[in-house]
Structure 1
Amino acid sequence: MTTTLRHTVLPPSEVGDNAQVAALADLLASTGQTGHAKLIGPDGAEVELPAELYRLIREVAEALAQGKGVTVAPHDALLTTQEAADLLGISRPTLVRLLTDDEIPYELRGRHRRVRLADVVDYLDRMRADRRRALNEMTRLAHQDGSDEIVIEDLQTR
């Protein structure tokens, strides 16, 4: 069964709360990645945090401190085409073209397409890897033909 539960947190609107989030983000950033972190509940119960969860808390606090909203969703969450397009930073029609071209898998729920968050993340990872390979190839070719050493002096822009 696919979970569609998502939870979005917006940055605090109260100045005092925003200052607390900023202070937490600064504290978490200054502690680094070493050692063990513990979470203490309101009842005083303590639990050690796994490193990955601690990193996630750091990233959430940093984003909120910068005034950004944060959405936490399970990797198997189903997204609408608009949500997936927004996540990729593309238009919905462009996303639909990627779906129909089998670049990203999707499911049909009635007449509506749904895209797994994991598949969107996989697509992003593939695109990053493709860009990295293309850039490495361009760098190799430029070095090979010597064009990486060309200096354009007094280049004027605008």
Structure 2
Amino acid sequence: MNTAPAHTISPRQGEDLASVVAILHGGQMPALVGPDGQQVPLPEGAFEALREVVDAMNAGRSITLTPRDSVMTTQQAAEFLGVSRPTLVRMLDEGRIPFSRPSRHRRVLLRDLLEFQETSHAARREALRQMTHEETSAGRGPDRMVATR
């Protein structure tokens, strides 16, 4: 298991990324140019990652790069998901998220958290779609739906 540390990149004050953004969104695949002038095509995955990093930095946000197979503590995993540590431990014990226990403490892989997150979001989207369909089928369109608590 990889325990490689995360690497955070923050935009620097006054850094102008507009020309880089323009190139990355210009419609053509950019290439890397080596010190000797040799041009190397940028692989699609590297291009997409670079575009996301530059877009975020251009918007003033920091970016953290972490390998998907990184191992996290339950506290780190809870913070990543935005839940309390006891809630995360309950989800682990219920089998909703895989984990390992190499010693006394549970460890969670980032890729498993990302998969759980995507599955949860998809389930919520489907539930909302279903509720909207039921309301529309009952003759209550968006303008006639009543919110209840």
TM range (shorter): 0.7 to 0.9
Matches within 5 A, 1:1-158: 2-15=1-14, 18-19=15-16, 21-29=17-25, 31-32=26-27, 35-148=28-141, 150-151=143-144
The total of aligned residue pairs comes to 145
Alignment partners' CA distance in 2, 1:5 and 1:22: 32
Counterpart CA distance in 1 for 2:139 and 2:77 is 42
* Contact kept in structure 2, 1:36 and 1:49, CA below 8 Å: yes
Q: 1:52, CA displacement in angstroms?
A: 2.1
SS in 1 for 2:120: helix
Tell me which residue corresponds to 1:155: none
| Unpaired stretches in structure 2, ≥5 consecutive residues | none
Contact 1:11–1:65, Cα closer than 8 Å, also in 2: no
Q: Which runs of 4+ in 1 moved over 6 A?
A: none
Unmatched runs of 5 consecutive residues or more in structure 1: 153-158
Tell me the alpha carbon deviations over residues 50-103 of structure 1, each in whole angstroms, 9 at most, x when there is no partner: 222201100011112222221222221111222222222222222122111111
- Between the aligned partners of 2:54 and 2:70, the Cα distance in structure 1 is 23
Shift of 1:43: 4.3
Amino acid at match of 2:80: L
- The aligned residue for residue 156 of structure 1 is none
Return the offset for 1:26.
4.2
Aligned residue type for 1:58: R
TM-score normalised by L of structure 2: 0.83
RMSD: 2.1
Deviation of the 1:149 alpha carbon:
5.5
1:121, 1:149 → 2: CA distance?
32
TM-score (norm 1): 0.79
- Among all aligned residue pairs of Structure 1 and Structure 2, give the percentage whose two residues are the same amino acid: 37
Greater per-residue helix proportion: 1
CA 1:25–1:97: 2 relative to 1, 3 Å: farther
What is the SS of the residue equivalent to 1:148?
Answer: coil
- Contact 2:24-2:30 within 8 A present in 1 as well: no
